[in-house]
Amino acid sequence: MITILEYFLLVLTIAYAAGFIGALVGMGGGVIISPVLTLLFGVPVAIAAGASLLAVIGTSSGAGFTAYGKNTPANYRIGLLLMTVSTVGAILGAVTTIFLSKSIRSEWIIYIIFGVAMMACAAALFRSKTEEDADQAIKDPLATKLNLHSSYYEESTKKRITYYPRNIPFGMGLNFVAGILGGMFGIGGGAFNNISMNGIMKFPMKVSAATSNLINGVTAASSFGVYYLTGNVYPLIAVPAVIGIILGSISGRRVLSKAKTPVVRFVFIAILVAIGVEMIMKGVA
C-alpha cells in the first residue's frame, strides 16, 4: 500500500532525478516519469502521460535558461523545422493513446512496440560514431540552402566546433515518429530527437541535446492540449512530478555546459535500454 504522502515524496524525489538527467541529455524527464507512474504506482497510461507531459514542459523550460545563454549550442533553425513535424505527430499520438486506453489488450501491444523501438534506437546509437570532428564533413546542399550549418564553443576542449548537418528529410521523418511516440506515452519525444539529430543528421551531441530541450516543450504542449481537454490531467498526480522536475532541471542545466559529451551519451544510452526493458517486461506481463 502506498499512501498519498508517500506518493508525493517518492514522485517528488524521482522527478527531481528525472529533471536533472533530462536537462543533461536534452530528452525531457518525462521519459522517466511516465514509466514510473505506470509501473510503480499503477497510474493508467493516459493519466500518466498527461502528468508526464507537464513534467516534460517543466524540464524544457527549466533547462531553457541555458539555451538562451551566451554560449548556447542550440540550433534554433533545425529546432523549428523539427517542431513542425513533431507537434503534428504528438497530437496524433495523444489521440491514439486515448483511443487505445479504452482496451487493456491494446495497451500491452503498444508497450512491447515501444520497448522494442527504444532498444533498437539505443543499439543504433551505441554503434554509431559521434560527429564532433565534423569540420571535415561534406556540405549537404539542402542543409546549406536551409542555413543549418553552424558552430558552437566546446568548453571541455576550449575549441570552437563547426558542424555540417545532413540527411535532413530522413531526420525530420524520424522526428514525426518521435512526436507520435512522445504524444502516446508523454515522453515529449526527446529521446528520438537526439537520435535523429545526432545519429542521422550528424549534429554534435551537445547541439542535439540543447536543441532537443527547445523542441520538447513545444511538442509536449501540443499533445498536452488533447490530454487536458479530455480530462486526463489530475493535479494530485501531476503536481509532485512538476515541482520535482523543474527543480531537477534547474540543477541539471548548471552541469550541462561543463559535461563531457561521452558521459552524456553513455547516460542517454543507459536510460534508453532501461526504459526499453521496462516497457517490454510490462508488455509481456
User: 10 Å Cβ neighbour count for 249?
Assistant: 33
- C-beta of 66: minimal distance to other proteins in Å? 10
Q: Which three cell numbers stand for residue 184?
A: 502516446
Q: At a CB cut-off of 8 Å and minimum separation 6, what does 83 contact?
A: 215, 218, 219
CA distance 121 to 125: 6
Q: At a CB cut-off of 8 Å and minimum separation 6, what does 200 contact?
A: 167, 170, 171, 174
- C-beta of 13: minimal distance to other proteins in Å? 14
User: 10 Å Cβ neighbour count for 145?
Assistant: 9
- Give 95 or 267: the residue with its C-beta nearer to other proteins: 95
Q: Whose grid coordinates read 522526428? A: 175
- Give 90 or 118: the residue with its C-beta nearer to other proteins: 90
- C-beta of 228: minimal distance to other proteins in Å? 7
- Give 203 or 224: the residue with its C-beta nearer to other proteins: 224
The binding site for other proteins (CB under 8 A) comprises 1-8, 41-44, 46-47, 54, 57-58, 60-62, 64-65, 68, 76-77, 80-81, 83-84, 87-88, 91, 95-96, 98-99, 104, 146, 214, 217-218, 220-226, 228-240, 242-243, 246-247, 250
Single-letter amino acid, residue 111: Y
- C-beta of 128: minimal distance to other proteins in Å? 28
- C-beta of 227: minimal distance to other proteins in Å? 8
- C-beta of 79: minimal distance to other proteins in Å? 9
CA distance 282 to 6: 23
CA distance 208 to 66: 14
- Give 170 or 234: the residue with its C-beta nearer to other proteins: 234
CA distance 2 to 11: 12
- Give 224 or 261: the residue with its C-beta nearer to other proteins: 224
